[in-house]
Structures are given as C-alpha cells and as structure tokens.
Amino acid sequence: MDDFYKVMGEFYDNKMKRHASPTKRLMDQKKAAFEHKTYLYKKLQSGEIDERQYSLTYVASPQKTYMIQPKEGEINYDLA
C-alpha cells in the first residue's frame, strides 16, 4: 500500500496542475440551467418570446444558455 501512495504522490506532485472538479462544474451548470430557464419563462409570460413556437433550450455552460426556435417548426430527428 505504501507503493501506491508513493506513486500517487509522484503523480500529484506540485509540478502537475490539478483539474477543476467536474462534479462542481455539473452542479454549477444545473443551477445555471434552473436560473436561465426561470428567466426565459418570465420572458415567455411577458410575451417577449412567442410560446406557440416550437423551441429547444441548450445550456452550453454555466454562463451560456441558448433558446433555438427552428423556422420550419419541430426538427425531424428521423432524417438524421
């Protein structure tokens, strides 16, 4: 077991930069999705966005959310 800790210590020494936590990133993205969709819902209620149109919402990162409304309506995924 001491060999394991030795190897892991060499792997994670100060020379190697540690990556950001993927779990924290996912939690931030989930929180952002809730906040962004709440904002979009308020825009739908106010009439700024036409709620009768088909739309897709993509949360690309905790900082960016995109709402796409295809011109020809719902996308036919069977064509892919």
If we measure between CA atoms, which residue out of 17, 22, 67, 21 comes closest to residue 42?
A: 67
13-67 per-position pLDDT tens digit: 656 565 677 788 888 889 999 999 899 889 888 988 887 888 888 888 888 888 8
This prediction's pTM? 0.54
pLDDT at 9 over 80: no
Are 10 and 30 contacting, i.e. CB atoms less than 8 angstroms apart? Answer: no
pLDDT of residue 31: 92
Strand partners, 66: 58
Residues in the chain: 80
pLDDT of residue 34: 92
